[in-house]
Structure 1
Amino acid sequence: MGVTQRIVLFGGSFDPVHLAHLALARCALQSQQADQVQLIPAGQPWQRPALGANPQQRLHMLELAIADTAGLSINAIEIERTGPTYTLDTVRNLPSGPRYLWLLGSDQLARFHTWHHWQEIVHHVDLLVAQRPGTPMACTPELRQALTDNDRDLLELPFEPLDISSSAIRHRIAAGQPTEGLLPPAVRHYIDTHHLYLS
């Protein structure tokens, strides 16, 4: 029997991808001794308003951001699928074999019971939770029971939160303010070249 691969799945709008996203992905890769962290850009997130960059632009920015980082890859499954993006559809279509860990923030954990068919999601993945500023680690009894029933783990990622957000970056770009220390330089160059987030 070979060793089971461990793959961390990191979904998000990545609108745009920034340095905190990359730090979180690298932390997950190392702390979980994962074989890979797959960044999964959302197609049409059903709980979010319209995004500032289109799917292909967000995909290109991710490609630029992880170009030199071993262990990070992009899974475009949600962009390639039409219609609203549901995590359930994504985890249902994962290749069998690896042990999958779904990376989410403590703010998302608190709302996990609102996710589309959340009970089935935990049939497919462990939950790897990163602390978010101002949101404690809170797991409902129902979720804890569902994890136990599916022989799944709730893991806490030892990550010091960085105060960087995509929405704040979009506001800074629209206002003509600098973004040093927030974005990979290649991503900022792409944003400027394609005149993104100016409205």
Structure 2
Amino acid sequence: MRAGFPTAVAGQTIGLLGGSFDPAHAGHAHITREAIKRIGLDRVWWLVSPGNPLKARQPAPMADRIAQARAVMDDPRVVISDLEARLGTRFTAQTLRRLKALYPGVRFVWLMGADNLVQFDRWQDWEWIMRNVPVGVFARPGARLAARGARAAEEYDRFRLPGEAARLLPGLHPPVWCFLDVPMVDISSSAIRERGDWRQGA
């Protein structure tokens, strides 16, 4: 594997949590711990993206965001990575195609909050993602009901796995997804940015 790329071996189950992490916070850490516990993942990779195609605002410098991510998620099972920048990919589907090719035999699970499921049908090649990678969706404040009525949730309803069966998710052939109604942490990156203090160590 190339320098700077996480290591993984065939048979491992790895959750992928993507986003700008601008900044990373306790909500991201909470979803990650719940994913490891409830889905039975070996590792979770945080994919700190160069930018979000759906947002006009440019994020803070990558180095600052990675440093903050490592500060809030200090766990040997979690890798904080700038893989998308290294791969030169801009969209999630592009990243997933590359990772599946680079890590044959590794079972990836895409992780996201319910707020992202609401707008998932706006993502490039979102149906390819649903058909090629198991997806774990986690409850987020204010988005639970909207997520249940999301286009992606409705169109792929018959492929939904009950929450209590989440440990089966990595081993099932997609399309398959699961909504995990976990305890929620009411915090967001945008609220932290509005305070304007995260890069001062607050």
TM-score, L = length of structure 1:
0.76
**SS of structure 1 residue aligned to 2:14:** strand
Instruction: State whether residues 16 and 46 of structure 2, in contact with CA within 8 Å, keep that contact through their aligned partners in structure 1.
Output: yes
Count of aligned pairs between the two proteins:
175
The 8 Å contact of residues 36 and 42 in structure 2, kept in 1 or not, is answered as yes
Residue in structure 1 matched with residue 83 of structure 2 by the alignment:
77
Aligned-pair CA distance for 1:122 = 2.3
Q: Does 1:161 align with 2:161?
A: no
Q: Distance in 1 between matches of 2:91 and 2:16?
A: 14
- The 5 Å alignment of 1:1-199 reads 4-66=11-73, 68-82=74-88, 85-94=90-99, 95-135=103-143, 136=145, 137-138=148-149, 139-144=152-157, 151-173=174-196, 188=198, 191-192=199-200
Runs of at least 4 residues off by over 6 Å: 145-148
1:143 and 1:92 map into 2 onto residues whose CA distance is 21
Unpaired runs of 5+ in structure 1? 175-187
TM-score norm. by structure 2 comes to 0.75
Residue 34 (structure 1) shift: 0.4
Q: Deviations over 1:63-108 (max 9, x none)?
A: 3333x3121112321122447x200111001112122111112222
Conserved in 2, the CA contact under 8 Å of 1:113 and 1:143? no
Query: Contact between 1:13 and 1:45, CA under 8 Å: does it hold in 2?
Result: yes
Q: SS of the counterpart of 2:196?
A: helix
| Higher CA-based Rg | 1
Q: Kindly report the root-mean-square deviation, in angstroms, between the aligned alpha carbons of the 2 structures.
A: 2.7
- The structure that is helix-richer by fraction is 2
- Which whole-Å CA distance do the structure 2 matches of 1:33 and 1:6 have between them? 8
